[in-house]
Each structure stands twice: as C-alpha cells, then as structure tokens.
A and B are shown apart, each in its own frame.
Chain A
Amino acid sequence: MSDSASLTTDHPGQAASTTPPARGRSRRLSDRWLAVVFISPALLLLLAMSVFPLLWALYLSFTDYSATRGGPANFVWFENYTAILASAQVHLRALTTLIYVIGAVALQTVLGFTIAYLISRRTHGRGLLTTLFLVPMMLSPVVVGLFWRFMLDAQFGVINSMLGSLGLGQVEWLTRQQTALFSLIVVDTWQWTPFIMLIALAGLTAVPKYLYEAASIDRASEWFRFRTITLPLVWPLLLIAVLFRAIEAFRLFDLVYILTSGGPGVSTETLSFHVYKVAFLGFNTGTASAYGILMVLVVIVLTQLYLRYLNKLKED
C-alpha cells in the first residue's frame, strides 16, 4: 500500500520532515509505539462491536439456531443460504428494495442537482437558501416517518385536504400497492434531496470560473457549457453522493417500520424489514443471520465501489 495512494495524508511537508539522524532511530521506535497505542483502542472497539458480531452471525448462518428456543445450534451448512436464495418471498423483497433504491436515488439526484444548480446561479441569499434546504436532512427518520404518516393520511391528512381544495379526489397514499411504495420514495426523497444538493453545490462552486469565461468568449451555448464544462466536473462528486445514498437506501428500515410497516400486504417490505421479521417474529436466528450476511455482502460490494470512486476522485 503506497502512501501516495492514500486519500488525504500526503502533504509535501511530511515527506520533507526528515529528522536529524542523531535522534531518528529512537524517535521512529517511539513513533511506532505511539501509533499502536493511539490506534489500537479504536480498532479494538471496532473488532469487539463490529467484526466479532459479524463473525458470530457468519457462524450462526450455517446453523439452525434460534435465540429463544434454546438448545444447541446444529450445523445445516448452506441450507439457510439456499433456502433464502430460492425463496420467492425473498425475491419479492429484493425487487421492492431495488425499485425503492433506484426510484428514490434517481429522484433525489435529479431534484438535488436542480436545486444546487439554481442556487449556484444566484448572487444573493445563497447561504440562507442552502441552510433552509438542509433542514429535512437533519431530522430523525422517526420524526420524518411519523409526520409524513400524518400528512399522508387519506382522511385527515393535509395533502389530501389540499388536493380536495383543488377539486382533486382523495388519494390513498399509504394503502395501495403502487402509491405506498411511491409515498415511501417521496418521503425518502424529501429527506435526502438536500444531501445530494449539498454535495452537488460543492462541486458546482468548485468549477473554475475561467473555464466559463473562456466558453462565453467562444459564445458557446448554455447547454453546451453545461454539458462540456459543468457536468464532467461535477459528475465524479455527484457519483459519490449517489453511491452513498444507494448504500443508505439499501439498508432502509426505520421509515418502512413507521410509515407503512410493510403494507399494504407485504408490498413495501424491504430486505431489512424482512430480516427483522425473520429475526424477531419467528426468532429463526440462523436464517436471519444468513439473510443478514447476504445483505452485508451486497453492502460490501457497494462500499467497495464507493471507495474506489472516492479514491479516484482524490487522486485526480
């Protein structure tokens, strides 16, 4: 692992900091000791609270263990995995999750980028505007879920009340198959559009002005400038935001739990929600662990993608 590939260290200062030879040897030793002392407590906590539990889950995933029924865990090897991968119930949740992730992330990317673009073109009030737009992102998913549930209520909710005033009929936001998943996407978009906006704004304001100046001398059309200057420069950063959101959306649990609890039927049950049911309704801990490990694998792939792009971005 060459140091130059790491993300943020590599200040020239560090390379230049060659020390007087007389004290170098002892200092390097104490440096190594210091590094161990400073890093290991944090790593120990992670090993204890993240790695060890995951290894335990990995072990349980090969067994028929149940957390409540007691008794020994019998090895069933890959039977949990094959059962999960073959289950139509799981396929259904995977599809729901996929639609949700793609729908929500696409919608918030378009909206977030639009808002960022509009804000970046304003001279006045940009700080205030940005701050205001950021509020939804700071709220707890519990608060967001509860409040949207109230607003989307078909009978007493303010959304239907406003639609009613416009002469439009009541919409069953949370109790129809299509609308329920759509509502989930809308609420997630409402909360996380600011996230994309924030990062897109960072990219937009970083586009060097001279590029635009050169383009305007060339009388390049606005669209041309956008396509050839803005987008290519902002895109890498935007991709980071999109991947980040995709990972988060893939893990979604709390919003479903509060907004629809998976309904109508099971049509808004995400993979996370299904794992919860397997783990805590049936207490089929072995199956739930295997299910969870499979989800972790997906997350690891997504995280690797995320980190690879991040790395590339840093190197440029």
Chain B
Amino acid sequence: MAVSVDEAVSTSPVQDHTPPARRFGLRGRSVLEVALLAVLAVVMLFPVLWMIETSIKENRDVYAIPAKFFGFTVTLDHFKDVFVASGGGRSTLSVAFLNSVVVAGVSTALATVLGVPAAWAYSRFAVKAKKDQLFFILSTRFMPPVVVVIPIFLMYRQVGLIDSKLGLILIYAAFNVPFTIWMMKGFVDEVPAEYEDAAMLDGYTRLQAFRRFTLPLLLPGIAATAVFALIFSWNEFVFAIFLTSSDSVRTAPPAIAGLIGGTTVDWGLVAASSVVFALPVLVFAYLVRKHLVAGVTLGAVRR
C-alpha cells in the first residue's frame, strides 16, 4: 500500500485508459468532480480562514452582523496581546506557550529515548510473547484520559506531582511510548538486519552495530515519530486541565480555554492565540507529511 502524500501525487490517475467514445461524458463529469472537490475544500478550510480573519479584526468588526468577510480594518493588536500583558511585560498566555514547549519537548525526548531502543529490540530479537506484548503496549494508548486521570491524580498526590511540569511530562511520555514503539518498529523493520550482522562479523558488538550502522539510517524515522509525539503533547487538554492549575505550570490548551468564561470574551484574542498555537503544529505536520498515515494510526498502519 502506497501511503504518503508525495507518493499519492506521483501515481497517475486510474482512468487514463478509458475508451475514446466515453471521453466527452467523462470531461463533463470531470468538471463536476472538480467543482465538488472545490466546494468540499472550501467547506473544510472556511473555519480556518475565518479564524485567521477574526484574529486580525478589531473587536467591533468581530461581532458585526451580518458578518464582515472583506473590508474590515486590519489590526495586529490581538497578536500583540498574546505575548504582551496589558500593563506591559510577559502575558500569562506567553508563559503558557513556554510551558507547552518545555512539557511537549521533554516528554517527547523521554518517549523517544525509551521507545526507540525498545522498538529496535522488538524488531531484532526473539522476545517471549512478542505479539502479546506489542498489543498490550498499544492498548494502553487507547485508555480514556478521563478515566486514567482519576488514579493518576491519586498517585500524583502521594508523590507530590500534582500541578507540576514533571507530572505532565511523565503522563505524556507514557502515552507517547506505545506510539513511538509501534511507529519505530516499522522503521527498524525496513532496515535489513544483515547490516548489523555484517558489522558484527567485522568484530563490532551488537550494540555498536546498532549505534554505528542502524541508528543513522533510522534518524529520519525518529524525527518523524518525535514530531507526532510532539503534536500529541502539544495539543493535549484533559490531563492538563485536571492535573495543573497555577500559571507557572499550565500549558497553552487550558490557558486558551480560560480565555472564555470571564466577563467578556475577546474572540479576536482567542483567534490570535489559536493561530499562534496551531502554526507550529501545521509546520511540523507539513515536514512529516510522508509519514502521516503511519503517524495518525499510531504507527499501526504503514506499508
């Protein structure tokens, strides 16, 4: 199964060999299909465009009825408010963004460090009940967060991890390790074991062979896997809202959710912070577009 976006581009469409007699009707149909596709694309992208538009509108225009699609005054004030507090200085939102960077970054690093060697071991060695272990590992990833958070909460209060970045990092890492193992195992499988065997015949140990020959080949896969783990941790909301509360720990999703429910809702600010929040994810997703299918199925579906 070819899987990546790029490959999808290179494969030629399936009806090249239609008999000439049916060409005309086909052209009409083709126009219809393009039109349908265009409509669907507009529907799918409109909310995103509306978000971007709202983020550069003045508050008056945000509430305008009928809605203003064009011809509003463009302002970048909302973006300024995302980073700068009204009295000057850093805004709580920008602190939350920074917390998100730390939590997502460290938890991803941890998941990678733990997951990649495990994936390699699962791929290379005969491990007892390997299939059962792998299935068990993946099923932990499917637990409902709202359920997991109850015992996690009790556990964290015993060890003092409530409302701490470390607590979030550990739980995110635990959710990302299964993903990392599954995704990376696929990448390791693609690197022939003979490379390592040959190296070992040359006198390297198994570990050295892995480090010197396999690991470099895995780097692109590791990068792609890490990006997906990063996206998961970056977007996560349930654990963040139940396990943290202070401004110095809280990550961006609960902070953005906190923008509504005061005395006024500044939708311009909500939109601007959403744009700022989503931008890195979109960039990263674009970078790993080749591995999207494997990524979104936790590495379960791949070629």
The interface residues of chain B lying within 8 Å CB-to-CB of A273 are 146
Bound-state Cα–Cα, A165 to B66, Å: 8
C-beta contact mask, B164-192 vs A, less than 8 Å → 1, else 0?
00000011011001100100011001001
Asked if B76 CB lies within 8 Å of chain A CBs, one says: no
Cross-chain contact B151 with A146 (CB below 8 angstroms): no
The CA-CA distance from A57 to B151 in the complex, in Å, is 6
The reply on B12 being an interface residue by CB < 8 A is yes
Q: Which of A150, A202, A213, A288 contacts B3 (CB 8 A)?
A: A202
Q: Does A6 contact B (CB under 8 A)?
A: yes
Instruction: Tell me, yes or no, whether B202 is within 8 Å of chain A by CB.
Output: no
| Given contacts A133-B44, A136-B47, A194-B44, A147 and B121 within 8 Å (CB-CB) | no
> Residue A285 contacts which of B45, B132, B139, B150 (CB distance < 8 angstroms)?
B150
A192-215 to B contact mask, C-beta < 8 Å, 1/0: 011100110111011101001100
With a CB–CB cut-off of 8 A, which chain B residues contact A132? 41, 44-45
Q: Is B135 an interface residue (CB 8 A)?
A: yes
Q: Give the dominant DSSP class at B's interface.
A: helix
Measured CB to CB, the closest approach of chain A to B211, in angstroms, equals 12
Chain A residues with CB below 8 A from B33, complex form: 118, 121-122
- B132 pairs with A247, CB closer than 8 A: no
Interface string of B251-283 (1 = CB under 8 A from A): 001101101100000010011001001100110
The residues of B that contact A34 with a CB separation of less than 8 Å are: 121, 125, 206-207
Q: Please, which residue of chain A has its CB at the minimum distance from the CB of B140?
A: A50
Nearest A residue to B30 via CB reads A121
CA distance A202 to B2 in the complex (A): 6
A9 to chain B, nearest CB (A): 6
Tell whether A39 is near chain B: CB-to-CB under 8 Å: yes
CB interface residues, B 24-41, toward A, < 8 Å: 30, 33-34, 36-37, 40-41
- Apart from the given pairs A114-B40, A122-B13, 12 other A-B contacts in the complex at a CB distance below 8 Å: A48-B174, A49-B170, A118-B37, A134-B289, A140-B253, A147-B270, A156-B62, A251-B146, A253-B146, A275-B144, A292-B144, A292-B150
> What 10 A-B pairs come out closest when comparing CB atoms?
A292-B147, A49-B174, A53-B151, A140-B235, A38-B117, A38-B121, A206-B1, A161-B67, A127-B9, A42-B118
